[in-house]
Structure 1
């Protein structure tokens, strides 16, 4: 590990990114991967995945520009944000992107005006099953509304193309895909009665990364999804939108201890990175997301510590009861694993503390 470089630093192993992508392709056969770039849009990650044949999913025109900057064809990209600024729709459509998500009449009006003739896919609300990082509830409609919206799209000169849903981030229950796929089948049956056949089912993301606990094998997710697809009224191409499962394990967040203190019998270890400048998911999950952690001392004697960030906000705590080397002090380093997703993108400079610098490499052994 290069201790001469300043921290906080997010190290990304591009070989691990490639390995995780290949694992998804092999483990979920027949499903086209569109990487959800919102979780880490670093250009070197995008270029790596593009070179492997991965496709992409965006939520804004700025994300599309990042993709075209590394040679991605907009025509192979999905715009899955159900509510988009009009200017973003115009820009994407002019660039050659032709598939857009929606879940409202007003969005259809915008699409008809700014992307005439475009293909559209409606967002279904997913059955509420708590995921590791709860993220659903904002978007989606029921099957009856989804059917009506796709027929309304046809009336506006748009192409009713597909149905999408998302079960929630870091989903540890493969059966979470069952109920939404049953709802997809209902929509397809109702549309077929109106002579409308769909060309895409987007089963979203949610495939988990390994943090402090085991995750089900991909084979269980594949089995649940394939069972649901087999029950649909006719075969239809399937896409997935993984993010965390592609990049989380590839990232190691290198941080420096800026101070320690014993409070109420427990040692607090303060780092130069925390919830507000890189680890916001700690707050989102109530500190339940257990990142694997090591430190530069690697001492045989261990003690349980509370790992916290640099700001003066008491919420800025990463994890409680983390086992680290005894005697950690200012200047030592702590390495937070599985940090490749939703770290640099969520980071701010709150309280004047810098977000992590991102550095990509191909030396998988150097972070261990």
Structure 2
């Protein structure tokens, strides 16, 4: 690189809104009768929220701040699920005052907070669902077994709250459609136990976990719909069903455009240092032990290829995205590297560690961008 001013602009995450719309319609068709509540923690960009709202999606939140963003675009809080099982008391009060009425819990302490800050609210008990490892493991922190859930919902009724539903989450990027069977059997057991106490649930929350395409194949969404539909029909009595997808709606819509800031050979291995890494956009690389493999291509597109370790700009050795990625052999500083399927969790996890900026996010329509279906990858 001969001129400093020849470097491309800072890293940019381009979001294809048309692709999000298509993903929403595909998931909705695969899960007929299941109300979709977008997990906005995944990517809360206002244009994404507005698009999904216009398409008829509802939303799931974990904080009062997330609710504020939804109210700003005209979302009715009565259609919002508050699914964080442990919430700060002021957040509960703010959400309830705004019109949110369904809250997840998995402890009596949370019931006590709801009784004070959201009297008369509907309670959705969070069940544990940790029998199968997902692609991006996220379970283990929340959830109780079905017998504990019976006790908790009866306690909710005693506190003047409404025992309303059951929820679970099989783990993010779940590649096994049958992972929903065991949790739904637990829901059925819970429903039967509660019926003996003259208490009947009204809703089951299937959580998220529906996968996006990264560098490998994923099962058809129809397989998930068939498994879930059969399990719902096996419940003791009909209940409303909802789900909380995140990455399944937005991941494949994103392409991260990064710049190579330097290359090096160390111990016989080639390294490409990018202007964006794990700490300012790609934290899921660390969360998965570098197992989440983004589709990758580069601006040179050379026929001669070599393998690189892709790493970020900070001085921390953990700041590495992927190992042994095939790119142009003549890759050098100033070239661009494109990472597909980066529409989920990229900007929300970003920090300014070491003073490096997070990627700029830009939404587009009517422009086909390379994402997981188009970018090349060799692992």
TM-score range (shorter-chain normalised) is over 0.9
Conserved? CA contact 1:117–1:158, under 8 Å: yes
1:246 is aligned to 249
Residues 149-187 of structure 1: CA distance to partner in whole angstroms, max 9, x if unpaired? 111111111111100000000000111111101100111
Structure 1 residue 302 displacement after superposition: 1.1
Query: Which of 152, 155, 159 is the equivalent residue of 1:156?
Result: 159
Task: Please give the alpha-carbon distance, in whole angstroms, between the structure 2 residues aligned to 1:167 and 1:365.
Answer: 32
Structure 1 residue 365 displacement after superposition: 2.0
Q: Are residue 57 (structure 1) and residue 60 (structure 2) matched?
A: yes
Unaligned runs of 5+ in 2: 1-5, 375-379
Q: Are residue 110 (structure 1) and residue 113 (structure 2) matched?
A: yes
Q: Are residue 206 (structure 1) and residue 209 (structure 2) matched?
A: yes
1:70 is aligned to 73
Q: Are residue 221 (structure 1) and residue 228 (structure 2) matched?
A: no
Q: Are residue 147 (structure 1) and residue 150 (structure 2) matched?
A: yes
Query: Which of 266, 274, 292 is the equivalent residue of 2:295?
Result: 292
Task: Please give the alpha-carbon distance, in whole angstroms, between the structure 2 residues aligned to 1:222 and 1:16.
Answer: 20
My pick for the range that moved more, 249-258 or 225-234, is 225-234
Structure 1 residue 91 displacement after superposition: 0.3
Q: Are residue 8 (structure 1) and residue 16 (structure 2) matched?
A: no
Conserved? CA contact 1:58–1:81, under 8 Å: yes
Conserved? CA contact 2:7–2:334, under 8 Å: no
Conserved? CA contact 2:255–2:369, under 8 Å: no
Q: Are residue 194 (structure 1) and residue 197 (structure 2) matched?
A: yes
Task: Please give the alpha-carbon distance, in whole angstroms, between the structure 1 residues aligned to 2:93 and 2:221.
Answer: 38
Query: Which of 344, 347, 352 is the equivalent residue of 1:344?
Result: 347
Conserved? CA contact 1:127–1:176, under 8 Å: no
Q: Would the alpha carbon gap of residues 19 and 109 (structure 1) be closer, same or farther in structure 2, given more than 3 Å must change?
A: same
TM-score, length-scaled by structure 2:
0.95
1:39 is aligned to 42
Structure 1 residue 308 displacement after superposition: 0.7
Task: Please give the alpha-carbon distance, in whole angstroms, between the structure 1 residues aligned to 2:271 and 2:329.
Answer: 12
Three-state SS of the structure 2 residue aligned to 1:320 is: strand
Task: Please give the alpha-carbon distance, in whole angstroms, between the structure 2 residues aligned to 1:4 and 1:44.
Answer: 29
Structure 1 residue 4 displacement after superposition: 8.6
Query: Which of 238, 258, 263 is the equivalent residue of 1:260?
Result: 263
Three-state SS of the structure 2 residue aligned to 1:29 is: coil
Residues 190-216 of structure 1: CA distance to partner in whole angstroms, max 9, x if unpaired? 111111111100010000000010000
Three-state SS of the structure 1 residue aligned to 2:337 is: strand
Task: Please give the alpha-carbon distance, in whole angstroms, between the structure 2 residues aligned to 1:113 and 1:364.
Answer: 50
1:170 is aligned to 173
Structure 1 residue 6 displacement after superposition: 2.1
Alpha-carbon RMSD across the aligned residues, in angstroms, is 1.1
Conserved? CA contact 2:78–2:99, under 8 Å: yes
Three-state SS of the structure 2 residue aligned to 1:269 is: strand
1:29 is aligned to 32
Task: Please give the alpha-carbon distance, in whole angstroms, between the structure 2 residues aligned to 1:366 and 1:148.
Answer: 51
Count of residue pairs the alignment pairs up: 366
Query: Which of 233, 236, 240 is the equivalent residue of 2:236?
Result: 233
1:48 is aligned to 51
1:317 is aligned to 320
Unaligned runs of 5+ in 1: none
Task: Please give the alpha-carbon distance, in whole angstroms, between the structure 1 residues aligned to 2:141 and 2:320.
Answer: 27
My pick for the range that moved more, 58-67 or 262-271, is 262-271
Three-state SS of the structure 2 residue aligned to 1:153 is: helix
Residues 290-325 of structure 1: CA distance to partner in whole angstroms, max 9, x if unpaired? 100111111111111111110111111100110111
**Would you identify which runs of 4 or more consecutive aligned residues in structure 1 move more than 3 Å?**
none
Query: Which of 344, 351, 356 is the equivalent residue of 1:353?
Result: 356
Structure 1 residue 280 displacement after superposition: 0.4
TM-score, length-scaled by structure 1:
0.98
